[in-house]
Structures are given as C-alpha cells and as structure tokens.
Chain A
Amino acid sequence: MTTITIPRIKKEIPLSIFILGIIAVLGVYSMGIRWVQGLGIATNLSDTRPWGLWISFDLAVMAFSGSAFTLAALTHMFHRYKYHNIARIALVSGFVGYISAAAALTVELGRPERLWHYFFYWNPHSPLFEVGMCVITYLLILTLEFLPMLFEKLEWHSAHKFLHYFEIPIVAAGIILSSGHQSSLGAISLALPLKLHALWYSPMLPLIFFISAMTSGFAMAITVGLLGLRFFDDWHFKPGVFSGLGRLLLVFLSATLLLKIGDLAVAGELGLIFENSYQSKMFIIENLLGYVLPIIILLIPKYKNCRLWIFRAGILSVMGLVIHRINVSFVGLAGAEYYPTWQEVLSTAGLFSIGVILFWVVAKNIPLMEEEKE
C-alpha cells in the first residue's frame, strides 16, 4: 500500500489515511463555521426542514454501531467464540461510531453547550430523551467493554481482570441499552404520522429500526472485517466466520424485509410501492438494492461461502441501511426544499474520516486479534 512519511515524527501512514486526515481537518473547519457563524449560514435547514444531513448521518452511524452489541451478543450470549475477533473489531468500530455520532451533536444541536441538560431536565415521554440517556449510559458501557483491550495492551493485569469479571453483565447491559435506544430512534418518527410517507411510517418503526440495526451490525462487521484484511496484516479470522456472518445477515435481512413488506401489507399500503413517485422509487431502490439483492447473493450456494460475494452482500446491506435512514429522515419526510451545504457535506465527511482515523489508530496500536486457543 502506498504510504506517506510525516517529516517531523518520521512515521509512515497510508496515503488513504493521510487523505482522510485532510478531510478531517477541513471537516473541523466546516464545523467551526457552524460554531461561529451559526446554523443559518452553515446549513440549508429551515423551520419545516429542521433536520438534514447531520441527522441522517447520525441515524446511519448509530445503526452501524449496533455491530458492537450484535456481535457481542453473538459471541458472549450465544457462546459462539469463533466470532470473538470480529466482535472486538465490531466493538471498536461501534465505539468509534458512537463517538463520531456524539461529535456530530456538537454541530447539529442549536445549543450544544447545553448537552448536560440531559442530566437535569427530564421528559420521560420523549423518545429523544430515551435515546439521549441510553446513548450516554451506553457510551459508558462501551468504554467498559473497550478498556480490557486497552489494559491488555498496557499490561495492567489486575485492572484487566477486574473488568473481565463483569464482562457478562456489562455485555448484557450493552444489549439491553442498545435495544432500548435503537428502537427509540425508530420511535422518534412515530410523532410524524402526517409528515412521514406511508411507505415508511408504521407503528412497527421501533421494531424495524431495531432489527435493521442488528442487520447492519452484521453487515458492518463483514465489511470492516474483510476490508481490514487489506490494511492490517495481523488480522486473521477463523474459517467459517464470514460465511457464518453471511448466514446471519441473510436471516436478519429477510426478517427486516419481511417486517417492512408485511407491515405495508397489513396496512393495505402495498400499492404505494407502485405509485411512481420520488418516494416510491427510493423505497424500491432501498429494498431492491439493499435487501433483495444481498438476500439473493447469500442464497446462491456458489456465493454464500465466498468471501468476495459475502463482502459485496455486506456492502449492499450497508448501503441499504443508509438509504433507509435517509428515507426516514429526509426523502420520505415532508418539508421545505433542502440540499446540504458544502459545510454540512464537509463536516459530515470530516466526522466520518475522524471515525475511520480513530479506528485505524486503535487497530494499529491495540491488538484486536486474539490468539487462538483450544
């Protein structure tokens, strides 16, 4: 891989990371524009379009970060330890994801300096309150899940052992909290019965969000896992890990798709898929490309065990999830005309880049792979 040498520190970093670094700096600069000049200048948001690119980004990232709890459940709750390595990767990518989602809040909120209000002013009726509280608590859990890896590297054995003792309850807490806030993210849209297009609006939204978060968790794990093999020489996975993940992905993709289509059928709204509008076309794109296609790939015997095809299925599922979140937060939502400003695009790209860079830093310095035992 092509690398660039940083003159002063005399360290080598991959070119792609370098480019991401530049994007990250530009991203922070764009965030600075929002902090100094305000939302009116930095975004194209308006009173009837209060949520834009940043919210879509937040929703998508939080869904992918579901890989942390999904893989943790698979590994620890279901005792499938061959997934342990990918679970650690999923944990780190999930953690990084939540951090960048939280960082996005500093520009997205009108009053980011008041984030601490979550601790003092409570409205338990609000799904957004539930999301906030759960995410705050979950970040703590993620830290507790991540620290053992850090302690391992630092060789702080007693600290490592102490945390390790509580691993199962911590993982359980992580699953519980994740199920709470992933579904609450869906519940947010329940307050928009008129605004959200019928193709996506459903009383099942919390469940759909939850299941699609798990689906994208697997998809993310596949993507990051297989992509990382290119960048990290020490990465290795047990045989059957990815085909196993592929099978699980197939199951959850089908479940999600079934839930969505079934919900439409029960509501008698299947016809809307063919109403030939912008929204219906996006619905078709989302489900065809993001769900049907990967399902087909994963069903074909020749491909279901091929890492290449599993990777493609993973990518498609990732994009399907992103499109779904975009549809629910923008395309399917009535509101003023909107397209993101360059500050919004650049800051989102910057936040994404920061996330990737963070992951790369962690992956480079902390052994994510565990030695094979037994």
Chain B
Amino acid sequence: MSKKENNTCNTCMSDLTRRDFLKVAGAITGGLAAASAVSNTALASSGGGDIPLEDQKALFYDATYCVGCRECELACKEDNHLKEENVDDLSGNTFTLIKLYQSEDGGESSFRKYQCMHCVDPACATSCPVGALEKTDEGPVLYESLKCIGCRYCMQACPYGVPAYDWSQAYPLIAKCDLCYDRHDGPACATACSPGALISGTRGELLKIAKERIAANPGKYYEDRVFGEHDGGGTSVLILSAVSFDKIGLPPLTEKAIPHYGETATRAVPYIFGGAAGFTAIVYRATMTAEERQRLGKKQGKEEGETE
C-alpha cells in the first residue's frame, strides 16, 4: 500500500511477481496457439469442394465464331433485368460486354466477350473480408450482396478487372455475372448465341470440345491452347482465340492462382501472433535491469517465505 505514493511504472512493476507475469504471458501465448490451430484448419483451401472440377458448370467462348451481334449482351440484360446502356466497360448494369480488337493496319481483328471468368480459385472470394463472394460447389462464383461492406478489395484483386460498381449510386453494391446460377437452361448468353460461339456445359465437356477444336484446326488458335485451362489456377470460362490473348485483353497469368500468392502470409498470421507473444515475453524478461530483477526476486522471495 505504501507503493501507491509512487506513480512510476517501476514501482508498479514491483507489484507484479514473476509468477504472475509468467501466468499472464503464458495464458496469452496459450490462447493464441489455440487460435492458431483453429485458424489453420479454417485456412484449408477455400471454396468448391463437393462437386469435382470437371463436373462443374462452365462456359466456352470461341472468339473465331463470334460475329459481334451482341445478342448475348441483350439476353444477359433481359434475364437480369438490367438497364440498357452503352458503355465501354463492364459496369453495374452490364455484366457482359463484347469488345473488338483491331490491329493497327486492320489486318487482324477479333471479338472478345468480357465477363466474370468464374475462376477455379478466385482472387475475389479470398479477398473479401466478409465472405460476400463465394466459389460455389457447382462452379459459378456468386456474390451475396447482403454481406458486402463495399471495401472494393475484390475489384482490386481480380486480375481481369471484373467486379463493377454502379458509381451513380450513393451506397453501391458489386455487380457481375453469376453464370445464370438460378436459370434452368444455364447461361442466357449461351442460349442466345446464334453463331454458336458460346457453349455452356460442364468444365470437363467444354475442355474436351475446346481441345477437339484445336486438334481439328492446328495453327488456327493462339498457342494451340484454350485460355482458362490453367491460367491463374484455371477458370470456368474457357476462351479460344485466333489472336494472342493479350491483344484481347487477357492478362498474362501464370498457372498459380492469385490466392496462393498470399497464402504463406495468411498462414503465417497465427504464428506471427504466437511469435510476437513469445518474443515480448522473452524480451521483457531478458532486458530487465538488474535492479528490477532484484525487486522481482525480493517479491518472489517474500512470497515464498510466506508460504513456507
């Protein structure tokens, strides 16, 4: 009680026995270790579990069949009750858009259908702090608008720049293609495509079609491969193109899925906690001045003496 006259931390320190401190520090560390065990299980790879990848819903787009009639855009707008608008990019009211690539001299051209790629391991789903974006078992990446807090991390993380805002709204929500998840006949765009550029089906089926088409037309398609098989960890929207992928605005992704880039860091978080806890405990003890050690020792000794 006489210690109360002093207001310095040094004095307070002497009220704490070594045992007390270690108890508290131990409790913190133990708690964090437990948390780390929990979060490690939670960190097991996100999304898309029950249905095997080749049976998941997917969409196939062959740019060489596309004539730019834009019926897919209209069908999408109709099916989703979206506003008519003439835009240059995906927006809050445009979930899919046909863009045209033309080379400088006009010798090369290709259409490309812009839309959500429904990645196998989506960057957006991993990024969303409240889990508003989810890779469903069936394949499509769905957005649950009720959870969204509007942080726009998904917009930043998506390598294709898909999630869009209706910026005219004061409190907007993300808008993007949901591969007509609730539509009985599958994506409306595929139903509407007259030239047959869009085909919907299971990912396995569509990959097979794509590869058959490549085999039947050697040299026609860029790099004789279908975009989305492995790009960015794989997508459920597969694209065949005669011109190089970067010309039609597809980013140069490796086979590594975006979430995997941050995997180590996220997994490390509980260890950071544990490490910091341990570190502070060790440092605290190790850098005590001799005086403080003495004080603590005296206190401990007094206690021990009392209990004897």
Contact = CB atoms under 8 A, between A and B. Distances in A.
Do A and B touch directly, given a CB cutoff of 8 Å in the complex?
Answer: yes
Interface of A: 35-40, 45-48, 50-51, 73, 75-79, 81, 84, 109-115, 117-118, 121-132, 152, 157, 161, 164-169, 171-173, 175-176, 179-180, 183-184, 186-188, 190-195, 203, 205-206, 370-371, 373-374
B167 A46 contact: yes
A81 B262 contact: no
Contacts of B46: 125
Given A109-B151, A111-B148, A126-B127, 4 more contacts: A157-B4, A169-B25, A176-B277, A186-B265
A126 B287 contact: no
Given A79-B287, A110-B172, A111-B148, A129 B165 contact: no
B51 interface: no
Contacts of A76: 9, 284
Contact of B289 (A79, A109, A183): A79
Contacts of B32: 176
B36 to A, nearest CB: 11
Contacts of B173: 110-111
B279 to A, nearest CB: 8
B269 A130 contact: yes
Interface string B268-307: 1100110111001101100111001000000000000000
Interface stretch (B53-61, B155-163, B209-217, B219-227): B155-163
A208 to B, nearest CB: 11
B90 A129 contact: no
Among B24, B169, B265, which residue has the most Cβ atoms of chain A within 10 A? B265
B153 interface: yes
B9 A77 contact: no
A131 B150 CA distance: 15
A45 B283 contact: no
B252 interface: yes
Given A50-B155, A121-B130, A167 B148 contact: no
B114 to A, nearest CB: 12
B43 A112 contact: no
Nearest to B44: A125
Contact of A188 (B43, B153, B268): B153
A111 B165 contact: no
A39 B165 contact: yes
B284 to A, nearest CB: 5
Contacts of B152: 50-51, 110
Given A84-B9, A168-B16, A172-B28, A121 B131 contact: yes
Interface residues of B, number: 77
A117 B130 contact: yes
B9 A81 contact: yes
Contacts of B4: 157, 161
Contacts, number: 216
B43 A124 contact: yes
B39 interface: yes
B262 A127 contact: yes
Contact of B170 (A38, A123, A179, A191): A38
B288 to A, nearest CB: 6
Contact of A169 (B24, B90, B130, B262): B24
Contact of B150 (A110, A165, A183): A110
Contacts of B75: none
23 contacts: A38-B171, A40-B167, A40-B168, A47-B165, A51-B152, A109-B150, A110-B151, A110-B171, A114-B149, A122-B130, A123-B129, A123-B130, A125-B259, A126-B129, A128-B129, A130-B269, A131-B129, A132-B129, A165-B12, A172-B25, A188-B153, A190-B262, A194-B252
Contacts of B252: 194
B43 to A, nearest CB: 7
Contacts of A123: 125-126, 128-131
B251 A175 contact: no
B174 to A, nearest CB: 8
B10 interface: yes
Given A36-B170, A79-B288, A125 B269 contact: no
CB-based closest 6 A-B pairs: A110-B150, A40-B167, A38-B170, A123-B131, A190-B262, A129-B129
A334 to B, nearest CB: 9
B276 A175 contact: yes
